Amino acid sequence: MGYQRLILHYGYDPEDFLGVLSQGAVKRCWFELDRLGGCGAGELRLNEGFSNRDAIEPGHWIAFEYSTGERWYLGRVEDVESESPAGLRIRLEGPAIQLNEVFPGSFTAKSEGVKPHRYGRTDQFGQDPDYDQESQDYVVNSAELIRKMIEQYVVGKTNIIYDPDLVETGPLANDVTTMKFRGEESVRSVIKDLALRARNATWGVDAERRFFFRQRRDDVLAEYREHRDLTKLQASRSRELLFNRVMLTGDYVYDFRNYSSQLARRSYRWRGNYRQPTSIDQHGERRIRVWVPWIRTAEDSRSFVSEFFRIYSQPVTRFSLQTKPQSVLPLPWEGCVRLKDRNLSDLEECPAERIRVLFDHAPQFQIALGPGDPRELWPEPPHDERWELPEKNSGNGDTDLTNSEPSLTSVSGSGGGSTNPGSSSAGESSDNGFSETSAASDHSLGSSEDSMDSQTSSHTSYSSSTAESSSGMDVTSSNGESSELNSSEIGSSGSGGSSVGESGESSIEIVSSGNTSVGVTDLSGGATSSNQWDSSGNWNSGGGGSTLISDESDESTFASFESW
């Protein structure tokens, strides 16, 4: 069926049909489809008299259909502006806007049963002040966490439809350690960060109100050729979105300290300083500050930052284009767009970050290819901030992340490390060519070429008050072997020695006093799209494996890596 340009009006329930608005619609109607978010912003202009300004109310729903039954967009009315003598301008947002209005967990336990809610595969923070009030769900990856969160908080409270088949597990077996929510952050803010660590997964709500969280599709949905299919083509490559150092601030870590005869609880923010040395050598240091308030373990923070560096540690290339009238809409979350020049040479093939559809006499597409601006997804505060350091942390170390692409091993069970007035050090290795150990002032490190130095300011990334504080974790690795501590989860503090046993033939004794450091495996492998069109439809162009060998002494720990 040909193009009909149907604009449908619904009430507060998106299934309560009220009428057709197509006849009164004038030019410059548009809507956006985002790879990260699904149906996005939109705008509808009607030639309605000023006296009819109350016909459409905020909270109503508007649908755009190419032809009967072929829906391209659904949006909720957010704002209505009326002009005399005639003119109505309606601002829309897609169904995913409702995720901004749902807040998992609760600040305190409530009579209706809502409690602080913890998701994860480990129980590491038993010293949280609200630990005895929290509810807990066992999850091992982003997809499992999102399934539970959508079922528990979104379904029934919004108009969003949950289809389990549209939520997919990413390539990592376990990309979530632990996250706790107290009704402070929205579901949308949680999902956008989980999508990044899940290999830059697509997520959002489509025109049928179905929530999706999916891995990237490589299917080519549309091909556009310079001159033949396009009226505008721009390419930009710059340092504007290049970031090779991340200062990450996470959640609070609570701990007990026993001094004199009294027990006192202290807290500090989880913080990490991450660098991509190859990029820094090539382009100089470019720093961004990121706040992810539910992160407070080395594993979670590194999985997030590694994906960030995979996208932004090199100069970013972006294309912007506008098509001639089109009849087939390539949904950004369903596959890729292929771009060719007039000589039929490939320019780019990737998912569109955003498609703006100019929904007038014939649909035209404005398409953005390439990652958006991370400063819009994680905006910095307008002033500098500093946070307290854990005790006995020299503060002179940092973490270097390489561009390798490791995967975390499967983990089951839970456990905790021991935390006492002293502190400890641990180094790790993995079989993915990516290793990390302490670089504190009283520790020396030898590593393979791809190894990195690290020191984290959080010396209690694992809880210290669990019943297992004097023993290692009892977990199961991905190959079915039993071990006391998974190689991707090390972090403890103690004045005495703690024994860490690995699956295999040897165990490692770790004895320390002084600085605290954490070594974990990492992963590599998102981005969000920025608003690249203004409200008038104009384009804004700004823009190997290793083995850990440990010797112990009275005062410090020496750890080195030897290649297999």
What number of other Cβ atoms are within 10 A of residue 357's Cβ? 22
Residue 91 and residue 482: Cα distance in Å, rounded? 57
Residue 309 and residue 295: Cα distance in Å, rounded? 17
Q: Angle of helix 187-197 relative to helix 142-149, nearest 10 degrees?
A: 160
Low-confidence ranges of the chain (pLDDT < 50): 392-397, 405-532, 535-537, 541-564
The 3-state DSSP class for residue 401 equals coil
Share of residues in the chain with pLDDT > 70 (%): 65
Comparing CA positions, the residue from 510, 519, 263, 272 lying closest to residue 389 is 272
**pLDDT number for residue 226:** 93
**pLDDT number for residue 286:** 95
In 3-state terms, the chain is what percent helix, strand and coil (to 5)?
A: 10, 35, 50
Where in 276-424 does DSSP place strands (E)?
287-291, 316-323, 336-340, 346-350, 352-358, 364-369, 399-400
Comparing CA positions, the residue from 154, 195, 411 lying closest to residue 299 is 411
**Beta pairing class for 364-369 and 435-438:** unpaired
**pLDDT number for residue 563:** 31
CB 61 within 8 A of CB 42: no
List residues bridging with 339 in a β-sheet. Answer: 224, 348
Chain position carrying tokens 């033949």: 228
pTM: 0.68
Show me where the domains of the chain are located.
6-95, 99-216, 245-312+389-525+544-563
CB 512 within 8 A of CB 420: no
CB 76 within 8 A of CB 61: yes
**pLDDT number for residue 165:** 92
CATH class in words for 6-95: mainly beta
243: amino acid identity, one letter: F
User: What secondary structure does DSSP assign to 468-483, as a single string?
Assistant: TTTS---EE-TTS-EE
pLDDT digits (tens, 9 = 90+) for 360-415: 989 999 999 988 889 988 887 776 666 665 554 433 335 676 655 433 322 223 33
Residue 69 and residue 543: Cα distance in Å, rounded? 38
CB 250 within 8 A of CB 301: yes
CB contact burial 183-221 (16+ within 10 A = b; e otherwise): bebbbbbbbbbbbbbbbbbbbbbbbebbbbbbeeeeeeb
Cα first-last separation, the chain:
64
Residue 355 and residue 66: Cα distance in Å, rounded? 15
Please report which helix (H) or strand (E) contains residue 284, including its range: none
Residue 436 and residue 401: Cα distance in Å, rounded? 9
pLDDT digits (tens, 9 = 90+) for 402-429: 655 433 322 223 333 333 333 333 333 3
467: amino acid identity, one letter: A
What number of other Cβ atoms are within 10 A of residue 535's Cβ? 12
440: left (phi over 0), alpha (psi -120 to 50) or beta: beta
Comparing CA positions, the residue from 276, 348, 343 lying closest to residue 313 is 276
CB 143 within 8 A of CB 167: yes
